């Protein structure tokens, strides 16, 4: 078990395939994110393949567990996140132009001896954190009236059911359309009635 994401490849031979199990503390990764707490150890496996004198191909599978606040019921809950990423390192400095611009996307320059994938690991995991975390897909959220967590108990607020009905209407793609048609019908009827009335009035006077 390796407790760092810095790899020394000086002793890795060409086409040697190496696999490392890693376990890193989140503080070591500077894995600190707003609204995310109690981040577990980051665990995973890192595969290294050297090809040629200059290039090392890296593939990493990493995962951890974090605590977040549900966006609907506001309860804290734990959830696993996992990421896979690949990096191609090269120590072939080549021409000056290659150093600055021409290195392939995803290919990084290293000194030919050691490289560090801590930052890659942190970034790969951070983008797995949901922007709108939900404790479950079926989370009922809070009553908008009394604040009761509707996952735990049902409150006796009036209008709670109406709110739910409206929500389910909106989820139908045709709900808005049918409402618009109804509204248009009513408007037309009113117009017709008004003009009839006006006609009658005009006629009678």
CA dist 51 and 152 (Å) reads 57
Cβ distance to Zn ion smaller for residue 144 or 195: 144
Cβ distance to Zn ion smaller for residue 66 or 135: 135
Interacting residue ranges for Zn ion, rule: CB under 5 A: 70, 72-73, 135, 139, 143, 145-146, 148, 155, 157
DSSP 135-201: S-TT---B-TTT--BTTT-----TTHHHHHHHHHHHHSTTHHHHHHHHHHHHHHHHHHHHHHHHHHH
Q: How far is the CB of 32 from Zn ion (least distance, A)?
A: 24
CA dist 61 and 63 (Å) reads 7
CA dist 146 and 85 (Å) reads 45
Q: How far is the CB of 149 from Zn ion (least distance, A)?
A: 8
Q: How far is the CB of 137 from Zn ion (least distance, A)?
A: 10
CA dist 12 and 122 (Å) reads 25
Q: How far is the CB of 156 from Zn ion (least distance, A)?
A: 7
The residues facing 120 across adjacent strands are none
Cβ distance to Zn ion smaller for residue 58 or 70: 70
Cβ distance to Zn ion smaller for residue 152 or 169: 152
């Amino acid at each position: 078990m390796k407790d760092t994401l810095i790899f020394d490849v000086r002793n890795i031979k060409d086409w040697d395939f190496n696999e490392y199990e890693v376990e890193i503390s989140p503080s070591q990764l500077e894995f600190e994110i707003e609204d995310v707490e109690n981040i577990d150890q980051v665990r995973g496996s890192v595969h290294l393949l050297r090809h040629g004198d200059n290039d090392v191909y890296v593939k990493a599978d990493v995962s951890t567990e974090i605590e977040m606040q549900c966006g609907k019921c506001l309860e804290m809950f734990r959830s696993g996140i996992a990421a896979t990423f690949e990096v191609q390192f090269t120590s072939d400095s080549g021409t000056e132009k290659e150093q600055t611009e021409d290195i392939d996307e995803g290919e990084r320059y290293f000194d030919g001896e050691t490289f560090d994938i801590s930052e890659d690991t942190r970034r790969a995991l951070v983008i797995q954190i949901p922007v709108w975390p939900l404790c479950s897909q079926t989370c009922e959220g809070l009553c908008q009236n009394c604040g009761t967590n509707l996952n735990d108990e049902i409150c006796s607020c009036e209008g709670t059911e109406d709110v739910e009905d409206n929500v389910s209407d909106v989820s139908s793609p045709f709900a808005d359309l049918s409402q618009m048609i109804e509204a248009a019908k009513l408007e037309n009827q009113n117009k017709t009635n008004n003009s009839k009335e006006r006609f009658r009035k005009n006629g009678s006077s």
